[in-house]
Structure 1
Amino acid sequence: MNWIILIIAGLFEVGFTTCLGKAKETNGTASMLWIIGFFVSLSVSMLLLYKATQTLPMGTAYAVWTGIGAVGTVIIGIIFFKEPVDFWRIFFIAALIGSIVGLKFVSH
């Protein structure tokens, strides 16, 4: 169950980075709403990370959380923010995903 909580925490990390990107692109009320979304996502992400670390090793949980956030943020950047896509970027994202999966399998 705590692995599911950790994955959800990582998805909220993607949420708060996405909100930062959208806040940068907008101004006025829209920007303020994205900033509020940032703080809500940040709070939920940290709370769920804290909950997951109650039973998972801290180092593993943190590495998986940041890995999910990094991979998700890159994918969101490519899809919604028109960030560049090239072989090496995809290669290293795949390596990061492999590392996250590997940590899951070696953690007891």
Structure 2
Amino acid sequence: MAWVYLFIAGLFEMGWAIGLKYTEGFTRLGPTTFTIIAMVISVALLGIALRDLPVGTGYAVWTGIGTVGTAILGMYLFGDPATAGRLACIGLIVAGIAGLKFLS
């Protein structure tokens, strides 16, 4: 169950990272509220997952999910470049996440 909590925490990390773009420097109430709530949920779920997972593994997977998801959403939502090198680096992050999951 810890891995499920960690995965959901990673999704909320993606949510708050993307939400930061929409807050426009925390000047828009709706996106700011969503972003803060997503931050709290993400960290709370990470804390729950870390009851049963090693802290290094849990934190690395959490940030990896957030990093990969945010990078992909940035390409889709904001037109961030999707170069071969960038996609290869995202692939390396995914490989690292998978390795940590299967070795833990």
- Could you state the TM-score of these two structures normalised by the residue count of structure 2? 0.96
Is 1:96 matched up with 2:93? yes
The equivalent of 2:72 in structure 1 is: 75
1:22 Cα deviation after fit: 1.3
Letter in 1 for 2:19: C
Name structure 1 gaps, 5 residues minimum: none
**CA–CA separation in structure 2 for the residues paired with 1:56 and 1:78:** 31
Instruction: From 48, 55, 58, give the equivalent of 1:58.
Output: 55
Give the distance between the partners of 1:90 and 1:62, measured in 2 at CA: 22
Aligned residue pairs total 104
Q: Secondary structure at the residue paired with 1:56?
A: coil
Q: Which deviations, in whole Å up to 9, do the C-alpha atoms of 1:9-65 show, x marking residues without a partner?
A: 0000000011101112996xxx21101011000000000000000000000000000
Query: TM-score, normalised to structure 1's length?
Result: 0.92
The residue type equivalent to 1:64 in the other structure is: V
| Structure 2 gaps, min length 5 | none
Q: Structure 1 residue aligned with 2:32, among 20, 35, 57? A: 35
Supply the AA of the counterpart residue of 1:8.
I
Greater than 4 Å deviation, 4+ residue runs: none
Amino acid paired to 2:78? F
Q: Give the share of equivalent positions with the same residue, in percent.
A: 40
